[in-house]
Chain A
Amino acid sequence: MSKEGDLLHVVTFDDMTPMRLRLGKLLIWGSAAVMALTFAALALAEAGYIGLEFENWRPALYGFLFWSVCLCIAQVVLHGEQGKRTLFVLPAALFVVAMVIFPLVFALGIAFSDWNLSSPTGRQFNGFDNVRQMWGDPFYWNALKNMAYYTLAILVEYAVAFGLALLLASDIKARKFFRVAFLMPLMLSPVAVSWMVGKSMMEIRFGPLARLARWLGWERPSFFGDPEVARAMIMMMDAWTFIPFMMIMILAGLQAIPRELQEAARVDGASAWRGFWEITFPLMLPVSITAILIRIIFKLKLADIIINVTSGGPGGATDSVTSFIFREYRDRSNVGYGTLLAIVYLVLIVVAITTFMKLVDRWMNPRY
């Protein structure tokens, strides 16, 4: 693929008249001015300087939408054919910027304030108080530690998923049936799973899993009483829903490996075991890493099952960061502290994932 120029190269004849250029500039700056005016009017009205009454900040949203549309039109007016190409990416980019970058900046502002949504005093800037509070909050560190455990559980999930994918890729009958059956847990909502498995099947008196445990010799099964066991149960429920995800990715990778490689190894006298470790597994490394990385990303969002089954208990042993912040907000409706915790979490994630990707890159493409 060429690095220079478009892949789909078209020579276009664009004759931009000065009139058109002026019109385009006018569109961009004019609509930007309209947007700025809306913001200013809203801010002034909120501060009470002008007599206008606004029910909410929605006009600002309309202002932004207007500016976005004008910006898109102006691309075509200003740059002709080139502008039409920009139109492919611009809407998505504007959407993401508006929905991510702006709230993130806003979040930074909230994070350093004490803001109880239900209190009449509103937002109070409190400097680094939240940071200090976080530093001394054992539950937050505990939640972070739990996240590390939860993330480590991915290795087991990966092993199981790889095994299942190998079975599905092997020569079996009714492959389609098994594939559909194995895929099913992924379709279920975590909330439904937390009732189906966590609340009813693991119910200590009548749940079928409790019966099974009793039959296996566990006298008084309790799945969410002991911290370690409870954490393992959450891991298992989460693994149950997401193993199909890794399995499908690995299966796709397995099917992309030419059969001849295994056959050649077999002819050369390799056993199935060595054939796997020396051919299939190394060839699957890139796919495996992608699957694990995506799984980590999804794992870091883990919350629904915890919120609904244990709500963090016993004693915060099953808390993930997300579920902890969720409860923190629901109990005290303090937006400021929760936002700070979330931002610290985001920074940790970005650092960890970047390091992980760098390490993997170093390992996959060694530079001697």
Chain B
Amino acid sequence: MSDKQIFHDSEFDLLQKTRWFSGRVAVYGILIFWTVVCLFPIYWTITTSFKMAPNVMQGHLVPLVDFTPRWLGWKSLGLSPDTIWAESTVREEFLKRFTNSTISALASSTLAVILGSMAAYGLSRFRYRFGFMRNPDISFFFLSQLILPPVVLALPFLVLYKQLDLLDTSIGLVMLYTLTVLPIVIWIMRDQFSSIPVELEEAALVDGLSIWGAFLTIVLPIALPGMVAAFILCLVLTWNEYFFAALLTSTDAKTLPVMVASQTGSQGINWWAMAALSTAAILPLIIIGIVLERYIIKGMAAGAVK
């Protein structure tokens, strides 16, 4: 038994190994760096909502190590453990805005998904002629709405809604939101439907279903994942919408982003209060993002790959 090792890696292979290893380090380094970039603001906001003035000023970062978490920020929203059962006007206000946002987002996304799926199905299966417009023109007509910047519609709608007495109502907001997300739904769903073989509906029709029957009972269940994807994307866009809400709502139908925006200036260094409000505003979508990430990615990928 000699001490000398007989079989060993050649010089070249060892070099490869270090190169592979340093490559791995670089890859994970970048990935972790970007994860920090993406998550730090969220972490910062959530932890700040538990801070007090000295913590903010001394730049404490890690709860329990740097500072003891306090419910100060949440108390100012009326959502801390000791205030949650008490009367609180701030909480009332917050919950009202939260409900408004939820209603606007859910209703407009639902409406957009219904209208959009129907239109997309029709366009992917039948040939139409509306005057001079044929299928490609109709599709283009729908998709071109994406280009329309909201500012073009905002002021005319302000005037129109004033005449129609729809200013500061959720219905008015829902109709506008539906309009803004409709092209996205049609885009995603057109892709979905064209990937479903026509033979399925043909079989259903032979078996005696009507066209609408086949659409509702055969096609829709298959396209459901796509619809969920479209729905979630709409939800994200409408929940976060600020511009129309800022212009068209004032007291009754004001949504959460408008509330957040109206508080940013007035708080000074009371960061804990703003942080709690921001956290409450972004939390629903963060949860949706984590739980339904698969669908979001599916939805955004739908148009990209033909």
Q: Which residues of A contact B296 (CB under 8 A)?
A: 183, 186, 248
The minimal Cβ–Cβ distance linking B65 to chain A, given in whole angstroms, is: 16
Picked from A89, A192, A199, A322, the residue with its CB within 8 Å of the CB of B128 is A89
Is A24 on the interface with B (CB-CB < 8 A)?
no
B123 engages A251 (CB within 8 Å): no
B247 within 8 A of A: yes
Q: Please give me the residue from chain A that is nearest to B290 by CB atom.
A: A180
Query: What A residues does B288 contact at CB under 8 A?
Result: 187
Q: How far is the CA of A189 from the CA of B176 in the complex (A)?
A: 18
The complex places the Cα of A92 from the Cα of B138 at a distance, in Å, of 11
Interface size class of A (residues with CB under 8 A): 35 or more
From A10, A189, A240, A252, B301 is in contact (CB under 8 Å) with: A252
Q: For A205, list chain B residues within 8 Å (CB).
A: 57
| Residue in B34, B275, B288 with the greatest tally of chain A CB atoms within 10 Å | B34
Return chain A residues, CB-CB under 8 Å to B256. 189
Q: Are B123 and A57 in contact (CB under 8 A)?
A: no
Binds B, one of A128-136, A149-157, A221-229, A336-344: A336-344
Instruction: Find out whether the CB atom of A326 lies under 8 angstroms from the CB atom of B247.
Output: yes
Q: Which of A84, A297, A335 contacts B211 (CB 8 A)?
A: A84
Say which residue of B56, B261, B289 sits within 8 Å of A206 (CB atoms): B56
Known: A300-B149, A301-B150. A86 touches B304 (CB 8 A): no
Q: Which residues on the A side are within 8 Å of B14 (C-beta)?
A: none
Q: How far is the CB of A287 from chain B (nearest CB, A)?
A: 5
Cβ-based interface call for B38 (8 A): yes
- In the complex, the answer to whether A8 meets B201 with C-beta atoms within 8 Å is yes
Q: Is there contact, CB below 8 Å, between B264 and A195?
A: yes
In the complex, what distance in Å separates the CA atom of A326 from the CA atom of B152? Answer: 11
* A95 with B179, Cβ < 8 A, contacts A189-B281, A290-B304 known: yes
A290 touches B303 (CB 8 A): yes
* B residues near A183, Cβ cutoff 8 Å: 289, 293, 296-297
Question: Is A81 an interface position by the 8 A CB rule?
Answer: yes
The answer to whether A345 and B306 have CB atoms under 8 Å apart is: no
Chain B contact patch, size range: 35 or more
A360 to chain B, nearest CB (A): 15
A206 to B59 CA separation, bound complex (whole angstroms) = 6
Alpha-carbon distance A157/B142, docked complex (angstroms): 28
Alpha-carbon separation in the docked complex, A335 to B157 (Å): 10
Q: Are A5 and B123 in contact (CB under 8 A)?
A: no
A280 within 8 A of B: no
Q: Is B155 an interface residue (CB 8 A)?
A: yes
Asked if A321 lies at the interface with its beta carbon under 8 angstroms from chain B, I say: yes
Interface status of A69 (Cβ within 8 A of chain B): no
Q: With an 8 A cutoff between CB atoms, is B222 at the interface?
A: no
What chain B residues lie within 8 Å of A88 (beta carbons)?
Answer: 118-119, 121-123, 126, 215
What is the distance, in angstroms, from A60's C-beta to the closest C-beta of chain B? Answer: 8
User: What sequence of 0s and 1s flags, for each residue 112-147 of chain B, a beta carbon within 8 Å of any chain A beta carbon?
Assistant: 000110110111111110100000001001100111
User: Which among B126, B152, B260 has the highest number of chain A CB atoms within 10 Å?
Assistant: B152
A-B contact count (CB 8 A): 308
Could you say which of A4, A5, A8, A58 contacts B198, with CB atoms under 8 Å apart? A8
Contact A248 B147 (CB under 8 A): no
A85 at the interface (CB under 8 A from B): yes
Task: Please give me the residue from chain B that is nearest to A337 by CB atom.
Answer: B155
Interface string of B147-171 (1 = CB under 8 A from A): 1111111111111101111100000
Picked from B41, B142, B198, B305, the residue with its CB within 8 Å of the CB of A256 is: B305
**Which of A180, A322, A353 contacts B289, CB < 8 Å?**
A180
Does the CB pair B142–A96 fall under 8 Å?
yes
Known A91-B115, A93-B119: A346·B126 in contact at CB below 8 Å: no
Please pick, from A4, A178, A335, the residue contacting B158 in the complex, using a CB distance under 8 A. Answer: A335
With a cutoff of 8 Å between Cβ atoms, the chain B residues found around residue A201 in the complex are 41, 44
Q: Are A92 and B115 in contact (CB under 8 A)?
A: yes
Cα of A115 to Cα of B163 in the assembled complex, Å: 14
Stretch at the interface among B23-31, B70-78, B82-90: B23-31
The interface stretch among B3-11, B91-99, B238-246 is: B238-246
Interface residues of B (CB under 8 A from A): 27-28, 30-31, 34-35, 37-42, 44-45, 48, 56-57, 59, 61, 115-116, 118-119, 121-128, 130, 138, 141-142, 145-160, 162-166, 175-176, 178-179, 182, 186, 198, 201-202, 205, 210-212, 215, 236, 239-240, 242-243, 246-247, 256-258, 260-261, 264, 269, 271, 274-275, 278, 281-282, 285-286, 288-290, 293, 296-297, 300-301, 303-306
Q: A103-B156, A286-B306, A304-B242 are in contact. List 16 more A-B contacts (CB 8 A).
A: A88-B118, A88-B126, A92-B142, A100-B148, A172-B28, A199-B264, A205-B57, A248-B301, A297-B146, A297-B147, A301-B243, A322-B151, A325-B154, A342-B154, A349-B147, A349-B149
A-B contacts, 29 of them at CB < 8 A, read: A8-B125, A8-B198, A10-B211, A57-B164, A57-B165, A85-B125, A88-B121, A88-B122, A91-B115, A91-B118, A92-B186, A96-B141, A96-B179, A106-B160, A170-B27, A188-B41, A188-B240, A188-B286, A200-B275, A208-B59, A248-B297, A303-B242, A304-B243, A304-B257, A307-B246, A308-B264, A321-B151, A339-B156, A350-B147
